[in-house]
Amino acid sequence: MVRKSRKGREEWKIFKNVFDSFTNRVIFDLSNQGYFVELTQPVALGKEANVFLASREDGSLVAVKIYRLENCNFNKMYSYIRSDPRFVGLENQKRKVVFSWVQREYRNLLVARSKVRVPSPIVFRDNVIVMDFIGGDGVPSPMLKDSFPVDAMAFFDKVIEGVIGLLEVGLVHGDLSDFNILNFEENPVFIDFSQATVLNDRDSEELLRRDLKNVFRAFRSLSIDEDVVVKRVIDKFLVEKNKK
């Protein structure tokens, strides 16, 4: 059972110039329901979403991802989500596109975590999602682009196994790159699942091939037989898709 936070609205003044009033209310409500006490520091600041660390009453940390309603590229979001059969009827409904985007990430993380290390989702509300914190001593794990693994080949193999694992639970990440893979103690953690989609999405194979291309680029210093890897992954994709 989550506990009520004692944080009052006056203590959320800091956010009034960062987020719109709707988002401030969502943040306050989630805090008041005990999911976190306060946002403590930014982890990643983007054009469409910001990720913060937040403290909990027991001293642990969670990650809070907040989509900025006024800055989101609705057309881009819709172009990805419209082919996902789980989400239909969103055309010309900008705010619902963002809310569905967040719900999509939450649902994808719930499915993905059985096969690959991801930030386990805790709760989502409108344009905000709360997830496990990946890191140690209050320091977030670095992106792969900023922390190349010591044993790069072993790490690469784990990434490919993760891609295959996602296929086994019916998902393609859709935006996999060295920006969306963390190096957590020399093991990959996949993040940013808002673009992940199901295998019977008409764009799923194209997205999968793009994921592989991005992974190869990240590990271009290695001697990898890309054709062999692509064949292995695409064959698995076709097998799993035919099961659906």
Torsions phi, psi of 165, nearest 5?
A: -60, -40
Per DSSP, the residues of 84-149 read -TTS-S-TT-HHHHHHHHHHHHHHHHHHHTTTS----EEEEETTEEEEE--EETTEEPPBGGGS--
132 is catalytic: no
Directed axis angle between helix 152-168 and helix 204-218, to 10°? 170
Strand partners, 39: 54
User: Which residue among 84, 175, 178, 211 is the active-site one?
Assistant: 175
User: Which residue among 126, 178, 192, 201 is the active-site one?
Assistant: 192
First to last CA, the chain: 37
201 is catalytic: no
For residues 4 and 34, is the Cβ–Cβ distance under 8 A?
A: yes
Q: Which of 106, 134, 120 is nearest to 196 (CA)?
A: 106
Any idea which residues carry the catalytic annotation?
Answer: 175, 192
